[in-house]
Amino acid sequence: MKKHSARVAPLSSYSTQVLTCPISEGEDGSESHAETPGSETSEESRSYQTCTHTALKVLGGLLLVLCVSSSWVGTTQVVKLTFQSFSCPFFISWFSSNWNILFFPIYYSGLVVTTREKQTPIQKFRECSKLFGEDGMTLKLFVKRTAPFSILWTLTNYLYLMALKKLTATDVSALYCCHKAFVFLLSWIVLKDRFMGVRIVAAIMAITGIVMMAYADGFHGDSFVGVALAVGSASTSALYKVLFKMFLGSANLGEVAHFLSTMGFFNLIFISCVPLILYFTKVEHLGSLSSLPWGYLCGLAGLWLVFNILVHVGVVLTYPILISIGTLLSVPGNAAVDVLKHEVIFSVVRLAATCIICLGFLLLLLPEEWDSVTLRFLATIADKKTEEHGEELTDSSIHTRSRSRANGTVSIPLA
């Protein structure tokens, strides 16, 4: 009994005051209890709004990916259908580029619907024309700024259409994805962007895929010419994007819409002479206006305009990487159409070349800090595993001690 009393004696020092939690009355206590739930609620609402905004942005981006891919696949396939009855690639390119004039009116209409814009279209157009300088757009600046981009735009479209006359839609869309590698190389040389080894590897893979694509049917005939035309289209597209980033990199959506509409006007005014020259020299046989396939031409121009709108608007509204993924998904989309509708049989070399180009395209989408982000992610996973292992050891030791105490002592209630 003396031994038991010795064990019980220390428990007498634990009074009921230790087990109770006193609440101080007064203004301080009431304020502390009033502020804590409110701050927690505000933090929860902010975090909820942030998560909701991010989720909506991601869902909108995924929907945009499907729209970009579908519009580009539709454009490519409609071109193939148009060539069956109307084989004039430069006229098609010129006619489709004229539809860029509608870019700014569509932008202003969307602005009025979403924000109830009070400025007139002329006022908004003049405001966006500051892209050309503080004095706005003059004839000299109009020609100087618009001419290089309009020429590169026309060349990109024309070479792409010429390549579609020689190759399948899948091959041309895969080769066009090499423009991402060319953009990196030109940005590294001209804009002095950061050097990344993984992107050099991706550029090498793109070049390897190009060579394999040209070798698929031997270095001769329409296949080699088609590969050269598709690579030329990708090169001019890369040059256009690098120059756009150099001179107009800080432009907002309204200024971009203004610039593209200006390019459409330049195309209509100054490049209209080229289709006439090709017609009178009988390089392209247009025929009478009534015999032209206006349905295919308008459908093609509309899809091309939708694709350009989605690309430029999507970069502003969602993540730019999703636009690139949408362009990449046009390759399997065109492949599905070629196999199911046109019954195209792809050789092993072409499939391997297409896969190599697509893999290189995905490597080019890695962010600049991908290596440090990956290392931090792996370090976080390792720390979590270490903490979980430490908690398991602590729980096992506590369980062992409780079992040993239960075997040698008597539990006494704290009353």
Question: By CB neighbour count within 10 A (0-12 exposed, 13-18 middle, 19+ buried), where does 189 fall?
Answer: exposed
Q: What is the pLDDT of residue 40?
A: 57
Span 221-250, average pLDDT? 87
Q: Which range (42-51, 234-243, 278-287, 399-408) has the least confidence?
A: 399-408
- Distance (Å, whole) CA 142 – CA 259: 10
Q: Cα separations (Å) of 62 from 210, 266, 386?
A: 29, 34, 36
- Distance (Å, whole) CA 8 – CA 230: 91
Q: What is the pLDDT of residue 7?
A: 44
Q: What is the pLDDT of residue 172?
A: 93
- Distance (Å, whole) CA 369 – CA 376: 11
309, 367, 368, 360: which is closest to 177 by C-alpha?
360
Confidence label for 8 from pLDDT (cuts 50, 70 and 90):
very low
Span 214-231, average pLDDT? 81
Give the mean pLDDT of the chain: 79
Span 160-164, average pLDDT? 94
CA angle (106, 111, 116) in 5-degree steps: 135
| pLDDT for 341 beyond 60 | yes
Confidence label for 402 from pLDDT (cuts 50, 70 and 90):
low
- Distance (Å, whole) CA 199 – CA 258: 33
Per cent of the chain over pLDDT 90 is: 31
Q: For 308-323, b where at least 16 C-beta lie within 10 A, e where not — what string?
A: bbbbbbbbeebbeebb
Confidence label for 192 from pLDDT (cuts 50, 70 and 90):
confident
Q: Do residues 144 and 166 lie in contact, with contact meaning Cβ atoms separated by under 8 Å? A: no
Q: What is the pLDDT of residue 410?
A: 43
| pLDDT for 5 beyond 80 | no
Span 380-389, average pLDDT? 74
- Show the tokens assigned to 343: 């019954």
Confidence label for 114 from pLDDT (cuts 50, 70 and 90):
confident
pLDDT in tens, 83-104: 988 889 999 999 999 999 999 9
| pLDDT for 187 beyond 70 | yes
Q: What is the pLDDT of residue 78?
A: 94
Q: Do residues 310 and 92 lie in contact, with contact meaning Cβ atoms separated by under 8 Å? A: no
405, 95, 401, 132: which is closest to 267 by C-alpha?
95
Span 15-44, average pLDDT? 47
Q: Which range (8-22, 199-213, 383-397) has the least confidence?
A: 8-22
| pLDDT for 157 beyond 90 | yes
Q: What is the pLDDT of residue 9?
A: 42
Q: What is the pLDDT of residue 44?
A: 67
Q: What is the pLDDT of residue 252?
A: 82
| pLDDT for 121 beyond 50 | yes
Locate the domains of the chain by residue range. 64-373
Q: Cα separations (Å) of 82 from 100, 157, 282?
A: 20, 15, 19
Angle between helices 253-270 and 103-115 (to 10 degrees): 150
Q: What is the pLDDT of residue 1?
A: 36
Q: What are phi and psi of 140, to 5 degrees?
A: -65, -45
- Distance (Å, whole) CA 415 – CA 407: 23
Per cent of the chain over pLDDT 70 is: 78
Higher-confidence position of 222 and 144: 144
Q: What is the pLDDT of residue 363?
A: 86
Radius of gyration of the chain measured on its C-alpha atoms? 33
Q: Cα separations (Å) of 144 from 137, 147, 269, 373?
A: 11, 6, 15, 43
Confidence label for 370 from pLDDT (cuts 50, 70 and 90):
low
- Show the tokens assigned to 72: 């580009």
> For every residue of 50-108, which 3-state class applies, written as one string?
HHHHHHHHHHHHHHHHHHHHHHHHHHHHHHHHHHCCCCCHHHHHHHHHHHHHHHHHHHH
| pLDDT for 372 beyond 80 | no
- Distance (Å, whole) CA 163 – CA 213: 13
- Check the CA dihedral 8-13-16-19 and report its sign: negative
Q: What is the pLDDT of residue 212?
A: 86
- Distance (Å, whole) CA 300 – CA 364: 29
Q: What is the pLDDT of residue 69?
A: 92
One-letter identity of residue 148: P
Q: Do residues 60 and 317 lie in contact, with contact meaning Cβ atoms separated by under 8 Å? A: yes
Strands, E assignment, 169-305: none
- Distance (Å, whole) CA 325 – CA 323: 5
Higher-confidence position of 285 and 39: 285
